[in-house]
């Protein structure tokens, strides 16, 4: 055992973390064991301290890699097939045919659609499909390539294969070399497997995985139709169909529910996908063109396009298929136009008809690309400029080589969707990102495939569009916040928002500065399954530190609550506002404070107020007492973020916008010091509510009174508020002993002054004693300030421990 050995293990663990998680985990564990053994075998304090530091540094890595490896193993089986982690290239003899042995046969059952089943003439090996064909004819595109789809609705896959072949032409080594075995690395081309076994390395469910298929391909009973991808120039070329078969094994069968070429290319090659919404008002087309033009010629980016839902009339006019993917074969600038050579991968090739829906293809309307004869373009291929792409296509899919940003780190995690909201991120996966040097950072979120999603996609009506089917699987997004590396509670002021995509992949790009720490938040909407596993990959030109962000506050507490028929008081303009649930917090010293209110019903708009009120139930909310609030009412959740609150006791009021809205909620409070937090009993707790008869002030009326009859000693107080639209008229409520000039005040609202509050006013709580108040009696007075231009309707309630009665209102002359 040596320190050098431990360091070597650690280096391998960190280096292989992205592309071979199993090997990384093994080396991280061995590094821990080596550091531990070194500690046991030394008596020198300095050495022991150094070895202990190495051990402590590696334990978190080993634990995380062990957890993540188990998670990825758990999602290795899809549709009944096992896909192994981190496959390594197999030696040539693995594909040799031993005399007397049967050819390899994959036991997977590939499902087909009704249309495919009507054409299927069995699964046949290459020698039966193409008798007499040699390896060159089966594996090498001698006459260039022209791949097309027919019966199978996998335009995204075929477009992806076309993009791979085009990018391979521009690179020193074909992309296929990293995708499939057997492969002739010297000749840089696929090899024919003697025993019928092919192994593909594809990137899904968190890592590079092994996909094994045999060479049996779907034959058809009609020579003019095809279930598998074919090459019109090289009709006996089979490796594209083998790649297609392997990919469709991952996605559930030939009755493919649909995807997009950005996702397909990422799975096939591991290249980083970016989905560009071409109709976005914020899209900078000049910048988009520069990014594409620079990297396309170097084979560093593959470009494909997707249309949206189109009517038959729109398809006919434009010459484009709706919900269909196309591949970009070339880009250039001719005649001042930024142009793309686009291919339709569908065999019955239609091409874009150009401006005004002319019958000729755009290839004949524009000057050809240098060195390209427009008259000899393959069927379905046409030139189109960037502006017209933006007008006629919905998405552009860019897949970047990982070489563009060569440093990568992965995090794999599970998300149980028991309580999530768009308004609060308290339960969302989050990551802290920092760097020592300014660097571009790309964050790629990948949702792992699950059998349950395939079932949902297949259970669609015949009238459902592919877009509608895809949207049934929910949406994902990413947010990036400049939050000091701390956890983010609500979706306010992100520095980057990736679009909501009904896709398994989404990308966020931002520039990280060394003086800042960033928080990346994972979002979802309408994901139909109860739990999911994800991988988030961080790409950069510099080393990144990826950590779990801590809460912003050192101490966090949560309480559950509800708005019930008795406590759903509505907003502060409601007469019943103070019936809302209230809580007291006691702060021992000054501290920042965060209060987050999460509602179980995401449609209900909520709000939180924090008032200095000695921790008592708020009965009046004066501006001078209000310490802070959450701003406008927000659907689902609200947050008050107070930079500094002095020591003391405070009252929190949780409200919905409309009275009577019933729901459960969670109140989360965070501070930098220890604090006490508990609910305040409702105002009606232990009290009976006695509503008086309707009280209306007509023109010229300013004071009214009603007798209060008490049979037993009781504590009581009075609430009064305007009904209907909020009124600015001042109010005063008082309980008086007796009437006339000798009457004595027992209690009065607002210290006897006229006051206005949207939610009403109240008197203090007092004892009412029938014996002490005899024979003068107790009278309830209500007064309004100033002349009334229109009738003023009020609600008056007495909350008492014991039975009492309030008589009829009578007008009192001043």
Active site residues: 155, 324, 344
Sheet-wide strand order for 475-481: 496-497, 475-481, 518-525, 430-435, 544-547
- Find tokens 């900078």 and name the residue: 284
Decide if 800 contacts 714 (C-beta within 8 A). Answer: yes
Decide: helix, strand or coil at residue 104: coil
The Cα diameter of the chain in Å comes to 122
Nearest Cα neighbor of 324 from 225, 392, 266, 268 is: 392
Nearest Cα neighbor of 446 from 521, 507, 531, 518 is: 507
- 342-376: burial string, b at 16+ Cβ within 10 Å, e else: bbbbbbebbbbbbeeeeeebbbbbbebbeebebee
Question: How many other β-carbons are positioned within 10 Å of the β-carbon of residue 430?
Answer: 20
Decide if 669 contacts 557 (C-beta within 8 A). Answer: yes
Q: Measure Cα distances from 625 to 3, 221, 436, 610, 652 in Å.
A: 63, 83, 45, 9, 12
* Bridge partners (DSSP) listed for residue 631: none
Orientation angle between helical segments 45-74 and 21-40, nearest 10 degrees: 150
| 567 half-sphere exposure, CB direction, 13 A CA radius | 21
d(CA 414, CA 418): 12
Decide: helix, strand or coil at residue 161: helix
What is 661-723 written as a DSSP string? --EEEEEEEEESS-EEEEEEPPTTTT-EEEEPSPEEE-TT--EEEEEEEESS-EEEEEEEEE-
| 320 half-sphere exposure, CB direction, 13 A CA radius | 29
Cis, bond preceding 57 (omega within 30 deg of 0): no
Distance of CA 477 to the CA centre of its chain: 4
* Bridge partners (DSSP) listed for residue 797: 691, 719
Task: Give one word for 620, left, alpha or beta, with left for phi > 0 and alpha for psi -120 to 50.
Answer: beta
d(CA 759, CA 742): 32
Task: Give one word for 501, left, alpha or beta, with left for phi > 0 and alpha for psi -120 to 50.
Answer: beta
* Residue 293 in tokens: 């033009």
Q: Measure Cα distances from 367 to 290, 384, 719 in Å.
A: 22, 11, 82
Q: How big is the CA angle at 765 (ends 764 and 768), to the nearest 5 degrees? A: 125
* Residue 607 in tokens: 């709000």
DSSP annotation of 222: S
* Bridge partners (DSSP) listed for residue 435: 544
Q: Measure Cα distances from 171 to 175, 301, 347, 382, 398 in Å.
A: 8, 11, 28, 24, 17
Question: How many other β-carbons are positioned within 10 Å of the β-carbon of residue 718?
Answer: 28
d(CA 125, CA 117): 18
- Find tokens 């990422």 and name the residue: 266
Question: How many other β-carbons are positioned within 10 Å of the β-carbon of residue 775?
Answer: 5
């Amino acid at each position: 055992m040596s320190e050098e050995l431990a360091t070597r293990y650690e280096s391998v663990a960190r280096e292989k973390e992205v592309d071979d998680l199993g090997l990384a985990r093994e080396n991280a564990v061995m590094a821990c064991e080596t550091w531990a053994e070194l500690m046991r075998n030394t008596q020198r304090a300095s050495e022991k301290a150094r070895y202990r530091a190495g051990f402590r540094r590696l334990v978190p890595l080993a634990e995380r890699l062990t957890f993540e490896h188990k998670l990825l193993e758990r999602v290795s089986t899809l549709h009944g097939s096992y896909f192994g982690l981190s496959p390594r290239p197999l030696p040539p003899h693995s594909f040799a045919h031993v005399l007397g042995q049967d050819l390899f046969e994959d036991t997977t059952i590939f499902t087909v659609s009704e249309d495919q089943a009507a054409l299927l003439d069995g699964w046949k090996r290459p020698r039966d499909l193409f008798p007499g064909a040699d390896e060159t004819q089966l594996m090498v595109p001698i006459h260039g390539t022209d791949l097309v789809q027919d019966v199978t609705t996998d335009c995204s896959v075929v477009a992806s294969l076309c993009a791979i072949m085009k990018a391979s032409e521009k690179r020193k080594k074909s992309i296929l070399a990293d995708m499939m075995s057997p492969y002739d690395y010297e000749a840089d081309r696929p090899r024919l497997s003697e025993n019928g076994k092919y192994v593909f390395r594809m990137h899904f469910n968190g890592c590079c995985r092994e996909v094994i298929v045999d060479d049996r391909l779907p034959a058809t009973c009609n020579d003019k139709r095809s279930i598998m991808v074919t090459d019109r120039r090289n009709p006996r070329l089979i490796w594209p169909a083998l790649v297609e078969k392997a990919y469709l094994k991952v996605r559930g069968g030939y009755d493919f529910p649909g995807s997009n070429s950005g996702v397909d290319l990422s799975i096939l090659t591991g290249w980083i996908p970016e989905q560009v919404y071409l109709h976005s008002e914020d899209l900078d087309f000049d910048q988009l063109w520069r990014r594409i033009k620079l990297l396309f010629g170097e084979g560093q980016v593959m470009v494909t396009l997707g249309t949206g839902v189109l009517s038959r009339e729109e398809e006919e006019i434009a010459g484009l298929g709706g919900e269909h993917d196309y591949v970009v074969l070339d880009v250039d600038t001719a005649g001042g136009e930024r142009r793309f050579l686009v291919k339709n991968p569908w065999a019955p090739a239609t091409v874009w008809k150009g401006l005004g829906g002319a019958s000729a293809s755009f290839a004949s309307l524009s000057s050809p690309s240098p060195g390209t004869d427009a008259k000899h373009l393959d069927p379905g291929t046409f030139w189109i400029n960037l502006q017209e792409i933006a007008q006629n296509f919905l998405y552009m899919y860019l897949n970047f080589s990982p070489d563009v940003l060569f440093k990568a780190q992965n995090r794999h995690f599970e998300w149980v969707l028991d309580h999530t909201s768009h308004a609060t991120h308290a339960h969302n996966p989050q990551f802290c990102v920092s760097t020592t040097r300014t660097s571009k950072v790309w964050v790629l979120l990948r949702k792992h495939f699950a059998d349950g999603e395939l079932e949902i996609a297949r259970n669609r009506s015949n009238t459902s569009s592919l877009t509608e089917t895809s949207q049934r699987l929910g949406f994902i997004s990413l947010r990036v916040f400049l939050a000091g590396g701390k956890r983010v509670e609500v979706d306010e002021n992100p520095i980057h928002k990736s679009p909501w995509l009904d896709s398994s992949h989404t990308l966020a790009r931002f520039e990280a500065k060394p003086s800042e720490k960033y928080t990346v938040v994972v979002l979802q909407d309408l994901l139909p399954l109860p739990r999911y596993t994800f991988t988030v990959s961080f790409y950069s030109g510099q080393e990144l530190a990826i950590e779990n962000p801590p809460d912003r506050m050192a101490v966090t507490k949560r309480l559950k609550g509800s708005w019930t028929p008795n406590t759903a008081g509505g907003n502060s303009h409601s007469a019943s506002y103070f019936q809302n649930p209230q809580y007291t917090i006691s702060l021992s010293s000054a501290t920042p404070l965060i209060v987050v209110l999460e509602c179980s019903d995401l449609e209900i708009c909520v709000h939180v107020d924090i008032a200095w009120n000695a921790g008592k139930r708020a009965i009046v909310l004066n501006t001078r007492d209000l310490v802070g609030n959450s701003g406008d009412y927000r659907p689902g959740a609200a947050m008050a973020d107070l930079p500094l609150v002095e020591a003391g006791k405070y009252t929190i009021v949780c409200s919905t916008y409309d009275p009577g809205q019933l729901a459960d909620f969670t109140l989360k409070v965070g501070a930098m010091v220890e604090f006490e937090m508990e609910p305040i009993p409702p105002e009606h707790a232990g009290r009976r509510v006695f509503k008086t008869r309707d009280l209306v002030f007509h023109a010229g009326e300013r004071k009214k009174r009603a007798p209060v009859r008490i049979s037993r000693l009781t504590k009581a107080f009075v609430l009064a508020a305007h009904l209907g639209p909020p009124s600015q008229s001042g109010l005063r409520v008082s309980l008086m002993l007796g009437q006339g000039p000798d009457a004595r005040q027992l209690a009065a609202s607002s210290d006897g002054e006229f006051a206005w509050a949207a939610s009403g006013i109240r008197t203090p709580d007092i004892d009412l004693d029938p014996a002490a108040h005899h024979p003068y009696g107790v009278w309830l007075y209500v007064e309004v300030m100033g002349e009334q231009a229109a009738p003023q309707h009020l609600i008056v309630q007495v909350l008492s421990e014991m039975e009492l009665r309030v008589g009829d209102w009578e007008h009192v002359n001043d």
